[in-house]
């Protein structure tokens, strides 16, 4: 062995590699070497180096450019980084993989600046869609409109005009948050909704003064519409269904690679979707790693959890060990379950969408079958109730430790509940860019005190010792981790105003929330989340040094290379 010449640091590394059983010495040349970089490893033992060597799917060496010489053979691909920054592959902590793909194939209403514009967009789409077929869109947000629609209820549009413009196609338009839909008359008719339809538990049908539904549906009230759409979609041949799903997944993969997302935590997946992921992974058509939270009713989960539990299957491309639940709705649609009424809707404290009884059953299932419970909670009441359900479940099972259960969003917290995350070991799975996209209406909804003391309070959570992870909830927001990173460290809204900047993360904390902490949240910190010898070679090369450039330049940072399993899967043109 030539290691004596190379120095004790490398000896240490080689020992590490040997102990993980990867590659024994530099006798086997690296497949890829990145050098001339500022490598931010997120590994506290060795935070910064200039070069990384990859052997197959693993990192085999980190160090100086000079130390790479022994790793370079005739077939080694060398990437000259020319001072660019290399970070661990981003781990998206909470997104919706297939929905993200489908959203790329649907009518995108996220840039519409008025209700009239949306009507025009749908009418244009109708021209190229066969009569009777559904027109599906998503991403609208009344908060982005220049003015409220002429005819509205609580600021949401009466869809009468849409029904006149598009009479022959059922239309279903999902809100940017996913917690509300707009439908035209044709769609409401197919879903069996009339003036007599009552609002269901956990949902609301908005009605005009005369009792006519205006075509706006909150939370569970949207279910009949989705069922009608599903009924139509079931009319497709099985081949068509699979083709559509595959097309969506292809879009989602492309989106991940473009933005440097090497692992995605899929927040609510059906069993049949997992079957499809398995099929794709089997054929090596799933380059991005998925960490899955199953979403199905308790009875179905009870009989399937053991069969579907999967850790690092297909060379660490598919893990299923989470259960997803939703206890409330979103702030944007007044669906977040609050302790006190909304400032701008004093008759409402929001909605509880899953009963505590059902949630307790889910918690029992999770703890008995070794799954992590991941509960969507936005409002302060929702967060308090979920923490209590988790606490009671932990107390009932003292033999189970290190569970890493998660609250997804943890968006509005009463200050009393903030220390409970650390105390219970519950992870706060937050989304940096929710703070800045909601920012313009948070104070209007919640008033100054609730906004200041507990809205997107990641600084307070970190200071209390809690683990915070990051993400985008794509397709609710764009998947770009650098957007969420920017929001996490600046809390700057589009107009430049800072939204309670005292809750900012440092740049290092934000990077950690997207890498090492997210790996921990999935029980994957042993082989992901830092650039460390022996770990998976998932890396991203960035155009800008996101740890040091001024805020204004941070916005321009882009992903230049995405590397997964040591393979270069994306190069920016
Ligand atoms: Zn979500």
Q: How far is the CA of 471 from the centre of ligand 1 (A)?
A: 10
Q: Which option is the CATH number for 100-234: 3.90.79.10, 3.20.20.70, 3.30.465.10, 3.10.310.70? A: 3.10.310.70
Distance 267 CA to ligand 1 centre (A): 6
pLDDT tens track for 455-494: 999 999 999 999 999 999 999 899 999 999 999 999 999 8
User: How far is the centre of ligand 1, averaged over its atoms, from the C-alpha of 431 (Å)?
Assistant: 10
pLDDT at res. 481: 98
Rounded to an integer, the average pLDDT of 83-87 is 98
**What would the two tokens of residue 201 be?**
């538990």
Can you give the pLDDT at residue 573? Answer: 86
Q: Residue 6: is its pLDDT beyond 80? A: no
φ/ψ of 130, rounded to 5, equals -60, 140
Q: What is the pTM of this model?
A: 0.83
Q: What are phi and psi of 475, to 5 degrees?
A: -90, 15
Q: What is the DSSP annotation of 378-443?
A: -SHHHHHHHHHHHHHHHHH-TT------EEEE--B--GGGHHHHHHHT-EEE--HHHHHHHHHHHH
Are β-strands 289-294 and 107-108 bridged in parallel, bridged antiparallel, or unpaired?
unpaired
Provide CATH code, domain 1-88+529-573.
2.30.40.10
Please give the helix or strand (H or E) that residue 183 lies within, else none.
strand 180-183
Residues 571 and 279: their CA atoms lie apart, in Å, by 27
Is pLDDT of 517 > 80?
yes
What percentage of the chain reaches a pLDDT higher than 90? 89
Location of structure tokens 């799917």: 57
More confident position, 138 or 6 = 138
Distance CA 344, CA 468 (A): 30
When pLDDT is cut at 50, 70 and 90, the band that residue 128 belongs to is: confident
What is the reported pLDDT for 515?
98
DSSP state of 351: -
Residue 290 has pLDDT above 90, yes or no: yes
Number of C-beta neighbours around residue 175 at 10 A = 25
Q: Does residue 501 carry a pLDDT above 80?
A: yes
CA of 121 to the centre of ligand 1 (A): 26
Counts of helices then strands in the chain (DSSP H, E): 20, 27
With contact defined as beta carbons under 8 Å apart, do 560 and 543 qualify?
yes
Query: What is the whole-number distance in angstroms between the Cα of residue 46 and the centre of ligand 1?
Result: 34
Supply the pLDDT for residue 370: 98
List Cα–Cα distances, 466 to 69, 323, 428, 507, 527, in angstroms: 42, 21, 7, 17, 22
Residue 550 phi, psi (nearest 5): -60, 155
pLDDT digits 0-9 by tens, 382-418: 999 999 999 999 999 999 999 999 999 999 999 999 9
Strands 58-63 and 107-108: unpaired
Query: What is the rounded distance in angstroms from the CA atom of residue 171 to the CA atom of residue 165?
Result: 11
User: Count of CB atoms within 10 A of residue 393's CB?
Assistant: 20
How many angstroms separate the alpha carbon of residue 146 from the centre of ligand 1? 27
Please, which pLDDT band fits residue 26 given cuts at 50, 70 and 90?
Answer: low
Q: Out of 10-14, 214-218, 249-253, pick the least confident.
A: 10-14
For 137, phi then psi, to 5°, come to: -140, 170
Q: Residue 245: pLDDT band by 50, 70, 90 thresholds?
A: confident
* pLDDT at 20 (0 to 100): 43
- All CATH 3.10.310.70 domain ranges in the chain, comma separated: 100-234
pLDDT surpassing 80 at residue 214: yes
Cα gap 314→564, rounded to integer Å: 14
Measured in Å, residue 93 CA sits from the centre of ligand 1 at 10
- Ligand 1 center to 27 CA (angstroms): 47
How much distance in Å is there from the Cα of 268 to the middle of ligand 1? 8
Looking at the chain, the domain(s) classified CATH 2.30.40.10 span 1-88+529-573
Whether residue 43 is predicted with pLDDT greater than 80 in this model: the reply is: yes
131 vs 374: which has the higher pLDDT = 374
**Percent of the chain whose pLDDT exceeds 70:** 95
- Contacting residues for 6 by C-beta, under 8 A, at least 6 apart: 26, 67, 70
pLDDT in tens, 151-204: 999 999 999 999 999 999 999 999 998 899 999 999 999 999 999 999 999 999
Distance 210 CA to ligand 1 centre (A): 35
Please list, in sequence order, all residues whose beta carbon lies within 8 angstroms of the beta carbon of residue 364, skipping any fewer than 6 positions away. Answer: 393
The pLDDT tens digits of the residues spanning 109-126 come to 999 999 999 999 999 999
Of residues 541, 573, 537, 538, the one with CA closest to residue 557:
541
Q: Are 53 and 61 within 8 A, CB to CB?
A: yes
Q: How far apart are CA 469 and CA 520, in angstroms?
A: 9
The first and second tokens of residue 59, run together, are: 């990192």
- C-alpha to C-alpha distance for 268 and 75, rounded to whole angstroms: 42
Check pLDDT > 80 for residue 19.
no
Residue 235 has pLDDT above 90, yes or no: no
**pLDDT the model gives residue 9:** 38
Query: What's the rounded Cα separation, in Å, for the pair 441 and 164?
Result: 31
User: How high is the pLDDT of residue 498?
Assistant: 97
Which candidate, 429, 508, 414, 504, places its Cα nearest to that of 466?
A: 429
- How far is it, in rounded angstroms, from Cα 378 to Cα 329? 7
Q: What distance in angstroms lies between residue 340's CA and the mean position of ligand 1's atoms?
A: 24
- Cα 94 to ligand 1 centroid, rounded to whole Å: 6
Q: What is the pLDDT of residue 177?
A: 87
Query: What pLDDT is attached to residue 387?
Result: 98
567 CA to middle of ligand 1, Å? 29
Strand stretches in 476-558, DSSP E: 539-542
- List of residues 6+ apart from 423 with CB closer than 8 A: none
């Amino acid at each position: 062995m030539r290691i004596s010449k190379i120095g004790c640091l490398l000896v240490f590394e080689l020992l590490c590699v040997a102990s993980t059983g990867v590659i024994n010495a530099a006798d086997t040349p690296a497949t890829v070497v990145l050098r001339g970089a500022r490598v931010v490893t997120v590994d506290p033992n060795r935070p910064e180096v200039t070069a990384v060597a990859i052997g197959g799917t693993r990192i085999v060496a980190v160090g100086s450019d000079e130390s790479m010489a022994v790793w370079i053979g005739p077939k080694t691909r060398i990437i000259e980084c020319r001072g660019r920054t290399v970070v661990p592959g981003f781990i998206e902590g909470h997104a919706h993989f297939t929905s993200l793909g489908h959203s790329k194939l649907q009518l995108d209403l996220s840039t519409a600046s008025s209700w009239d514009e949306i009507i025009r967009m749908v009418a244009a789409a109708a021209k190229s869609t066969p009569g009777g077929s559904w027109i599906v869109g998503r991403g609208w947000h009344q908060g982005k409109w220049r003015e409220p629609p002429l005819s509205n209820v609580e600021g949401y549009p009466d869809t009468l005009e849409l029904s006149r413009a598009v009479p022959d196609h059922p239309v279903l338009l999902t809100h940017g948050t996913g917690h509300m839909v707009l439908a035209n008359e044709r769609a409401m008719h197919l879903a069996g909704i009339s003036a007599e339809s009552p609002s269901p538990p956990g949902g609301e049908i908005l009605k005009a003064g005369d009792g006519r539904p205006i075509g706006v549906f909150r939370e569970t009230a949207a279910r009949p519409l989705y069922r009608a759409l599903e009924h139509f979609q079931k009319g497709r041949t099985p081949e068509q269904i699979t083709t559509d799903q595959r097309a969506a997944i292809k879009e989602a993969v492309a989106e991940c690679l473009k933005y440097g997302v090497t692992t995605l935590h899929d927040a609510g997946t059906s069993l049949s979707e997992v079957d499809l992921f398995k099929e794709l992974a089997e054929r090596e058509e799933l380059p991005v790693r998925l960490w899955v939270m199953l979403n199905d009713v308790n009875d179905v989960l009870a009989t399937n959890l053991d069969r579907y539990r999967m850790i690092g299957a297909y060379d660490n491309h598919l893990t299923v060990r989470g259960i997803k639940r939703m206890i409330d709705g979103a702030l944007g649609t007044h669906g977040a379950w609050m302790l006190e009424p909304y400032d701008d809707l004093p008759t409402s404290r929001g909605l509880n969408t899953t009963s505590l009884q059902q949630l307790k059953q889910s918690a029992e299932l999770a703890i008995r079958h070794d799954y992590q419970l991941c509960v969507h909670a936005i409002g302060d009441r929702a967060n308090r109730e979920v923490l209590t359900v988790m606490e009671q479940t932990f107390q009932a099972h003292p033999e189970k430790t290190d569970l890493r259960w998660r609250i997804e969003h943890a968006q509005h917290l009463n200050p009393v509940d903030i220390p409970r995350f650390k105390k219970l070991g519950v992870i706060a799975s937050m989304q940096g860019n929710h703070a800045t996209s909601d920012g313009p209406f948070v104070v209007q909804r919640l008033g100054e005190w609730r906004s200041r003391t507990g809205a997107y309070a990641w600084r307070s959570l970190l200071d209390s010792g809690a683990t915070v992870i990051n993400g985008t909830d794509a397709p609710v927001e764009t998947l770009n981790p650098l957007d969420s990173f920017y929001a996490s460290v600046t809390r700057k809204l589009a107009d430049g105003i800072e939204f309670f900047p005292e809750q900012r993360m440092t740049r290092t904390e934000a990077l950690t929330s997207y890498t090492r902490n997210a790996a921990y949240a999935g029980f994957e910190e042993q082989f992901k989340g830092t650039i460390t010898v022996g770990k998976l070679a998932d890396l991203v090369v960035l155009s800008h040094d996101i740890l040091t450039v001024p805020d204004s330049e941070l916005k321009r940072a882009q992903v230049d290379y995405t590397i997964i399993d040591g393979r270069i899967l994306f190069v920016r043109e």
